[in-house]
Amino acid sequence: MNTTEGNRWYRVPFVWLLIGLPLTAVVGSFVSLALAIHSDDGLVEDDYYKRGMEINRQLDRDKAAAARGLESTLDFDDAHHELRVRLNARQAMAWPDNVTLKLMHATRAGLDKTVLLPRQADGSYRMPLPDLAPGHWNVQIAAQDWRLTGSLFVPRGERQLVMRPVSP
């Protein structure tokens, strides 16, 4: 009696295990390759040297704000539905006609807002109250030669934010 009919290779489970494991690894590597080619992680800067020089300029602006003793207060005025920025300095200085206010969401760059605020007659800078999504916001107020930074958490109910220079 011949039993070779029952021992064909495709009927042995161990053979499929030996074929299946390496085949799964090959298919997984092709899937990984396709994901790597078609997705852009955006982590590497093409002009990293220029970006590094920009960071140094930003640090110089922070030092200039600290040397002048600058301080800023952001008031979220719900009654007048406006955001008011007041600047103070330890030493006398000429205030700029415009300052740039950047509201940068910590995790969602699509929500970032940049506004140029003109100086008002009372010396403050104003804009309509922005609609901010809940979360952590980085705030930056800057002129051409200085900048102040701070953090804001929405909706904690903070109606005022005091910003001082980063210590050098």
CATH node for 70-163: 2.60.40.10
**What letter represents residue 64's amino acid?**
A
C-alpha gyration radius of the chain: 29
Domain boundaries, the chain: 9-38, 70-163
Asked whether 144 and 124 are in contact (CB, 8 A), the reply is no
Which tens digits make up the pLDDT trace of 1-14?
455 556 788 888 89
**Residue 106: strand pairing partners:** none
* Total-model pTM: 0.61
Which tens digits make up the pLDDT trace of 85-143?
888 888 777 888 888 888 888 888 888 888 888 888 888 888 887 778 888 888 888 88
Q: What is Dmax (Cα atoms) for the chain?
A: 110
